Amino acid sequence: SLMVGLLSAACAALAGALIGVIAGYSRPFDSVVMRIMDGLMSIPTILLAIALISLTGPGISILIVAIAIPETPAVARLVRSVVLGVRERPYVEAALCGGARLPKVLWRHILPSTVPALMVQSATVCASAILTEAGLSFLGVGVPPEIPSWGNMIASSRLYLAIAPMTIFAPGFCLAVTVLAVNLLGDGLRDLFDPRSKRRR
């Protein structure tokens, strides 16, 4: 569950950051790609995962892809909104007037401004991916049964609820605590990387 969550969040964050930075700075690219992102946001994660797994068979890699695809548009839209505000700032215009190339400006001046928001969104995506993986594994369409997963544990223990309820409650409690910890970690990383929060202290 943790591996699926972390890898799904990493894939969604990388793809969303790349799309969001380019869309926020290029209006022609923005008008086309953001409409595609709006279409992807309408795809339910669980239904996409079930469809992909039914075509290719269960596996961790296809599960990561199925979770990352619907989460990418939210990351891209967030990064795009940050870039739209940053690109008008004086230091960006000064770098362009000084002869800096656009890729260098994007890398050194615009992309670092998106890190705090990207940290929080990645934590949210990771928590959502952990819950989605657990739900899919509980339904039998997630990771294979031989791979340890909280969803598999809950699914295999539901027949013994009357005689051994802790076999269900223990994985469920661990799942809830992990999701809470990931969300708190995202808030902590945002405060760590946000210079405005440091100035307030």
Q: Give the model's pLDDT for residue 92.
A: 72
Fold designation for 2-200: MetI-like fold (1.10.3720)
* Helices and strands, number each (H, E), in the chain: 10, 0
If pLDDT is split at 50, 70 and 90, which confidence band does 173 have?
very high
Spatial CB neighbours of 110, under 8 Å, sequence gap ≥ 6: 21, 24, 25, 83, 86, 87, 92
Cα distance between residue 70 and residue 72, in whole Å: 6
User: Has residue 37 got a pLDDT over 60?
Assistant: yes
Which tokens sit at 168? 């269900």
| Residue carrying the six token digits 């934590």 | 123
Tens-place pLDDT, residues 69-127: 888 888 888 888 888 887 777 777 777 677 777 777 777 778 878 888 888 888 888 98
Pick the more confident residue, 76 or 144. 76
- 132 CB contacts (<8 Å, ≥6 apart)? 45, 46, 49, 67
